[in-house]
Amino acid sequence: MTPQTQSAPPLVQMTDIEKHFGGIRAVNGVSLDLHPGEVVGVLGHNGAGKSCLMRILSGAMIPSEGTIKVNGKAATIHNPHDARDLGIETIYQTLALADHLNAPSNLFLGRELKTRFGNLDDTRMMAETVRVLKKLNPNFKNLNDPVASLSGGQRQVIAIARAIYFDVKILIMDEPTAALGPSETAMVGELIKRLRSEGIGIFLVSHDMHDVFELCDRVVVMNKGKNVGSHRIEDVTKDDVLSLIIKGELPHDWVPRSQENSNEH
């Protein structure tokens, strides 16, 4: 991470977040942050609280307690619309695309461009879609086809295009490569690296340890509703992360890997 991103306030600061369902604490006093141009992996078993935490940030759930700051300012996020206004966009594993519509209709779904007469401006929406998709995947064709007929990777590109077109600063990606083959997974990895280089902060929710170690700067592990560890990726091994996911703690003889390496010289 560059020094300049460290001195700027975090893009997101979630502090002491709680989410209760009756007597169950799905999220239990969790704090985490995200800086510009940083990819933070959010890991944990199903039911560990990671999806719940991300849904609070995306406006799909309201926390029982805790505070959220965006760019250093207190933020109130009661619904996905509030989140979008703050530059927070979510790409779910299901992609939430309308299968029967084409790429431009999906890109502008709910935020359609209109002519000055109030009609849908299909020409401009198509031109804007071409522009943004070319940036992400120069070989993108089939813009007029219903997205149901596109490959998983192409659908993922449309979902990412929708996020960045609307000036996203913070992107939550929920299992973005879960349904993709190797070449499409690699393409989404390249897109994530490109978005990071443009200063977008990304929370990457993933079960895929290879993705996490390939793409993330830092990893946060949830276990039984708590944040049981936040570590720079160069300080941990896959076994360390698995220990946090399964037991909620690091091996008892753990030392940061970067420290191990410096001790060897």
Question: What are the sequence ranges of the domains in the chain?
Answer: 3-100+168-264
- How far apart, in whole angstroms, are the C-alpha atoms of residue 130 and residue 103? 9
Task: Supply 236's token pair.
Answer: 């941990």
Task: Assess if CATH 3.10.105.10 describes domain 3-100+168-264.
Answer: no
Predicted structure pTM score: 0.87
Q: What is the model's pLDDT at position 95?
A: 64
The contacts of residue 132 (CB under 8 Å, 6+ apart) are 107, 161, 164, 165
Beta bridge partners of 41: 204, 219
Question: Which residues pair with residue 43 across a beta bridge?
Answer: 221
Task: Please give the helix or strand (H or E) that residue 103 lies within, else none.
Answer: helix 103-107
Q: What's the confidence (pLDDT) of residue 88?
A: 94
What parts of the chain have a pLDDT lower than 70? 1-7, 93-95, 261-265
Q: What element of type H or E holds 41?
A: strand 39-43
pLDDT at 3: 40
